[in-house]
Structure 1
Amino acid sequence: MNLIEVYIQEVTRRLPNKTRKDIALELESTIYDMLPEDYSEKDVHRALETLGNPAILASKYNEKPMHLIGPKYYDVYITLLKLVMPIAAIISFIALVAVKFLSPVEDGAVLATVLDMILEGVGQIIGVMIHTFFWFTIVFAIAERVDGIKDDSPLSARFKPWSPDDLKHVIYVPKYKAINTFELSCGLVWTAIWGTTYFYADHLLGIYENGEKGLRMVMPAFNQEVLLSFWPFIVLLIGVEIALAISKLINKQWTHKLATFFTIHQIASLAILVIILTTTNLFTPEFSNQMGGIFTTTPAHIENFIIWGLTTIFVVFAGWGIFDVYKRANIKTDIESVNKR
């Protein structure tokens, strides 16, 4: 077997037909120039090893990339993909929850409702992420082949060759001040959960019994009409939380302004919670009487216990959250210290 001819074949078969003959002749000449007059098989091995893998050598001759997404677009591709995929997943989940708001729920079918929402949400998120990944990859793969630029140097986020001026557009985010994607996603998911629970409280919160069809709610804890009378405040809170999430996404780190925004939101949430909890007829009489019988106390005592318990839990978590974000916002980085000097 002539290793030289096989090597040339392995290179040229990866090239367009119109260039194969010329490149084969050029490559053959190059190989024989590397060999001594009275060459041996070892000399051929050494020459071919120097030229390297035929696929890599073919990629150098080929005018079109032999990869789906090369180094020029890869960094921008990964950066945008990491940014867009979580946002697309969160938006799809919130859209699903919004649809569930408008859908009728069978009385007492709480487990079926929650399980259906979780399963459908997970499936929808996976589907959205697959579609996002697919179309992002297709777009960048096409861009790789039609841009007409032979330079393979990685592009910056502005789709231009990198220069030191690009650093002016980069926000320095220390690890201890950073707002990561997981934190942002958890905040939006929590908004969807508590918003769903509030508008479906008469189907989700109450006393349950284990019947033939499984666990079902038989007695709601809250008067849904009273809860729905505060819907403008709840919608406002949801809107503020979404705006807070967008601010986190833009800033990427805790600042004093963002911490103040978070504090105002927590104080407003506490005020609305206290107003709702202290509203007359918030709890259904059946629930209060049932719980009073279980714990051998008066219905009023049960209601006061729930009000103070929920308020205390919210104050503790809100206080800790405010302390934590201000602590992270107040940490001075080395760069900030140098700039102040």
Structure 2
Amino acid sequence: MDGQHYMERYIQEVVRRLPKGQRVEIALELQEMIQEMLSADGEEATVESVLLKLGPPKELAKKYRDDRRYLVSPEYFDNYLWVLRIVLLCVGLSVVFSAVVNFFLDPKQAKEAAMELLYLPSGLLAAFGAVTLLFVILERLHVKFEPSQSSPWNPSQLPPLLQKKAVISRSDTVVGLVFIVLFCMLLTFAPQVFSLYLFSDSKELTMIPVFDMEHWNVILPLILASMMIGLVDEVVKLVTGRYCGAVLAVNAVTNLCQVMLSFVVLKMIPFWNPEFFSWLRKKCDIPDLLPYITEEAFSNLFLGLIVFGTALELGTTAYKSLRYGKN
């Protein structure tokens, strides 16, 4: 393997552990340093021997970071800050949106709708704590399970340069993050948004909730747990930045947990509002469809879609991880 390839792989492993704003500058600095060391060591010098002198990429990255004790280290801080901004923005917008919706749905309850804005500071604080805790746990787990250096370091141990198809784009994760946070906030602060809206002849609004609100105190925690598991999957993809065995393992575990929680919610507890289905059956003009307009039929349909969607996602992740993410 030529020296240029070793050098590129080494620089990649160093700079990926540094804050984003420093990566280009330090990559150029490292390239220049290696070239100077090659010139200084004479004709017998090779890129491999120079890299051996520089030491493992992780140790060299620590010197550039001037490592101290951090709650969230510089290696993770850019991604942490990026996720935190998205989550805080989504939480803030969701609380304000739910207050506005509740006001327009029932202007007589304007005071109660305004009171929901008081939840904004506590919601933002909870989001800040949850994101910070998630990154702290992920970082500690990464350090704990990272392979130890049992033998002298050698440049041949460097992972290969990333293929373009192995990279997980940030735009792929932002959609998942935004959906998860907004959906959780709406279910928490304004579940009545998910309703059938009917206007009488006198233009009086009647709402028929889609969900069984009598059991909402049981349903909501299970849905939030499923969404938080999905959030972990998205954050792992963001932090890792590429398809690999770790991403595949986390995706498999989170998908399995989400399917199990979906089964519990849809099949083991009352989830749908019976009045909603009574109205649908009353308005249905196709007799052959009547047997399918039931709570059980809709639960089976949604569960099937969830299983299909998770299987498709897991299959895609497995394909990209095994084909493009091999070390």
TM-score normalized by structure 2?
0.51
- Shift in alpha-carbon separation, 1:332–1:219, aligned structure 2, 3 A: closer
Alpha-carbon distance change, 227 to 172 in structure 1, aligned in 2, over 3 angstroms: farther
Q: How does 1:89-128 map to 2 (within 5 A)?
A: 89-96=85-92, 99=95, 106=102, 109=105
Which residue pairs with 2:3 in the alignment?
none
Q: 1:287-329 CA deviation, whole Å, 9 max, x = no partner? A: 1210111125658842123112211211221111010000000
C-alpha distance in structure 2 between counterparts of 1:266 and 1:328, whole Å: 17
Using a 3 Å threshold, how does the CA distance of structure 1 residues 96 and 305 change in structure 2: closer, same or farther? same
Partner SS state of residue 209, structure 1: strand
Paired with 1:171 and 1:212, the residues of 2 have a C-alpha distance of: 69
Cα offsets for 1:10-52 (capped at 9, x unmatched): xxxxxxxxxxxxxxxxxxxxxxxxxxxxxxxxxxxxxxxxxxx
Asked if structure 2 preserves the Cα contact closer than 8 Å seen for 1:291 and 1:299, the reply is no
Indicate whether 1:87 and 2:79 are aligned.
no
> Aligned to 1:241, which of 226, 230, 248?
230
Distance 2:265 2:303 in 1: 11
Preserved CA contact (<8 Å) 1:221 1:283: yes
Give the Cα separation in 1 of the matches to 2:173 and 2:236. Answer: 10
Which fold has the larger relative contact order, with Cα–Cα distance below 8 Å and residues 6 or more apart in sequence? 2
* Structure 2 unaligned spans of 5+: 1-20, 27-75, 107-112, 118-153
Q: Tell me the alpha carbon deviations over residues 235-285 of structure 1, each in whole angstroms, 9 at most, x when there is no partner.
A: 433332332233222211111222121122112111211211124543223
Structure 1 residues 322, 74: CA separation in 2 closer, same or farther (over 3 Å shift)?
Answer: closer
Q: Classify 1:289/1:231 alpha carbon distance in 2 versus 1 (closer, same or farther; 3 Å).
A: closer
> How far does the alpha carbon of each residue in 1:175-225 deviate from its partner, in whole angstroms, 9 at most, with x for none?
111111101111111211332343357412221235899996611111124
Change (3 A) 1:328 1:191: same
CA distance in 2, matches of 1:222, 1:230: 9
Match of 2:43 in 1: none
Structure 1 position 226, deviation (Å): 1.6
CA 1:292–1:327 in structure 2 vs 1: closer, same or farther (change >3 Å)?
A: same
Shift of 1:89: 3.4
Question: What amino acid is aligned across from residue 86 of structure 2 in structure 1?
Answer: I
Question: 3-state SS of the aligned residue for 1:176?
Answer: helix
The change in CA–CA distance for 1:107 and 1:300 in structure 2 (over 3 A counts) is farther
Aligned to 2:304: 312
Q: What is the aligned partner in structure 1 of residue 321 from structure 2?
A: 329
Give 1:199's aligned residue.
188
Query: Separation in 1 of the partners of 2:313 and 2:23?
Result: 37
Structure-to-structure mapping, 1:1-341, within 5 angstroms: 75=24, 86-96=82-92, 99=95, 106=102, 109=105, 172-199=161-188, 202-209=191-198, 218-295=207-284, 301-332=293-324, 336=327
The range that moved more, 309-318 or 217-226, is 217-226
Q: Secondary structure at the match of 1:229?
A: helix
Q: 8 Å contact 2:245–2:321 — kept in the other structure?
A: yes
Q: State the percentage of identical aligned residues.
A: 12
SS at match of 1:331: helix
Structure 1 CA distance for aligned equivalents of residues 92 and 158 of structure 2: 36
Summarize the Cα distance change of 1:189–1:262 in structure 2 as closer, same or farther, 3 Å threshold: same
Q: Which structure carries more helix by proportion?
A: 2
TM-score by length of 1: 0.49
Unaligned regions of 5+ residues in structure 1, if any? Answer: 1-71, 118-164, 337-341
Q: Which amino acid aligns with 1:324?
A: T
Aligned partners of 1:108 and 1:203 also within 8 Å: no
